[in-house]
Structure 1
Amino acid sequence: MRLSRYITLISISLFLSCNKDKSGKDGKTNDTLLLADKYEVSLPKLSKKYLTENKNYAENFYNKYYNPKDYSGGFLVAKNGQVIYENYSGFAYKEKGWKIDAETPLHIASVSKVFTAVCVLKLVDEGDIELDKSVQTYLPTFPHEATTVRMLLNHRSGLRNYAYFTDDKGVWDKKNTLTNQDVLDLLATKPIGLESKPGTRFGYCNTNYALLALIIEKATGKSYPEAMKEMIFEPLGMKNTFVFDNLEKKDEVSQSYKNNYLRLAFEFLDQVYGDKNIYSTPRDLLKFDIATYSDEFLSPEMKTEMFKGYSYETKGQRNYGLGIRMLEFETGQKYFFHNGWWHGNTSSLVTLRKEKVTIIALSNKYTHKTYKTKKLAPHFGDYPFKFKDEEIGAE
């Protein structure tokens, strides 16, 4: 374990947003320590003029595309770790009257994959996992020797999605709750088969990240929720973030809804984690995103592996790194993000690496509005998206 990971760096202050709104903020600007001492990052403080001008722009953007009277969730825009604008509205549990505010954890769906990937990469930094080792090295019953840890991370394993193969006749009784270990056991004992030869093409698949959670457990000797808490959540001060792993506690967390606020029931797939099942807040996600700029949190080598594309068998801008989606433009600019969708929960985390801008939208009432985050990126950098004139919005 490298001792340098415990050296304290220069601190950064997080400026929480300035306006009083439905979240009950008091209209004052506070200086709040962003990260625990171990992983602090130094980024320039934004001018008051910049904050004011961009706060107005982001607020207008939010009101235009999200409609706080109908949106149920959280929205946040930040640069250099400083919040420019945030807003919270709707209900975490409408039947109980639980309103959403800045400290309400919501299900972040597949944005959870970014956390799983970073945890694996941190374990690679520590020498506990090797990216190009066979998955069988860590999970001996896994049936495909050619599949590596890296292939799980970049979705080139060729595996089938567990949400689909559990529908196959005789594979799983849906009266029983599925676990991560069950996913592995089914792959090992049932004729599940592959979608493609490992390493030959991209195929987004939740099974990859369910298995990565098991590899984390094998490497750490701890449960995935415990490993995430000790390696990421607690060190970064993410006090409102956790892994949901117990359906018996389903009434203790925020619920998910159809777009008419009809509550959606939990089901037999809702205890599998790694690919989903992290609950968090925009403020906590911001802490995580800023930490990824720290060389003490994640080595430069692992960041390079994470933020590069791996799938070039077909032409186009879309690609996938290790736990992160990207669009690679001919200009050389890269747009990094990850979206999520599970039941009524939708999520979007945008990390503009060049500009140090973070854009986050979470919702627990089904909507595609969450993914409008992309429309805000050209305001902060040279992202050559082509939108209709009426969709861009006024400066």
Structure 2
Amino acid sequence: MLIVLLPEHLQPDSPGPVRIHWWHTDRDGSLVDAGHDTLEALHDQYPTERMRALVPPSAVTLYRVRIPVRKASAVRAALPFALEDFLSQELDELHFAAGPRRPDDRVAAAVVEHSNMVFWQELFEQAGWRLEALMPLSELHAELPPAGVLRVQHSPWPTDMPLVIVTAADQEPVMMEESLLGFWLQRRLADRDPEDRILELYGVGAGALNPGGDTQVITGPDLRPELLEPALRRATDTRPVFNLLTGPYASSMAAPPWRKMRTTMIAAGVLLAVLATQFGLETWTLARERDRLQAEINSLFDTTLPTSRRVDPVTQFREALEGGGSSGNGGMGGLLYEVLAASSKDGKAEIREFRATPVDMEIELHVASFAELETIRANLAAKPALRETLQGADSGTEGVTARLKVERSES
């Protein structure tokens, strides 16, 4: 991951390409490489890396306010009005971001101008970057000292002017120029009770600060070499504690919206794959059934119309039947109708097989007895236009199977 620090006092009309300090970290936040270059050059060097940016203290102000509601959306809605008395600008000119709730039950908040947010967005987009997070630099040093202690230490970050970090249990971290520290401390200590006037100085001399005789001063070594890597690890946390990319800036500069829908998209893809497989199986089954029916139609055509050349069996069957019905005694349809009517007159005969031409027909009947067979033959003989011939009959335990030939009479 890449961590970049936005330059202090960066403006849209700043001359020349913007050079930015950057740090390249591995998965656990350990420092791998660092440098000072433009965003475009950094994109050429690390085109696939994820990026997060740090906002210098001159461009963002941190507050801690008491907001009784707990719901995140209610906190965001109430935040501008809770900070209104501390701000000199119009609320609609400012972007508010809610941070974590501190141990004293107050909510950390950051305030930055909309114009800066828009400018930073354009700056990164023009260089081809999409930010995962935009974090206040001071917040990376929010390790809270004991109650009543003001801890002052040098900043490890490369800035235009050397900065010091002031942390306390009852306030958000403050970063300022060391030349302003004495005046700020005098005002800050004056607001504290005497027992809470404990000042820890790490690498910062107490002589020019004039903290007052009732202030307990504790000094220690310069901690700058030990502060950078813990802050970088905090900046690479999976879910940043403080992210300015909220509200109108969340969708434009944060991670692409489709990443949040990956689970839904995967489920939809699986469902589409199942539906496509089911559709394919049904298509294959219907194709097999079509081929089976076509084979049966062809077989029936060859059996029923052995003298006809098979072209379109269904159409040929229809034409043969319609032609037989309309041509009186000369068609196969009329002959078939008369034979079926005579053989099923009493509803007891079963036709197992037949072969027909326009002038004659061979049928295989199954009846219960020879008496029923003779009845059918009598029905056929009663029709003057038909001539019936018994070609054979077999008797079995299940009844009688007979083969008849029926043809039209010449007279």
TM-score range (shorter-chain normalised) is under 0.3
- Identify the structure with the greater helix proportion: 2
Higher relative CO (CA 8 A, sep ≥ 6), structure 1 or 2? Answer: 1
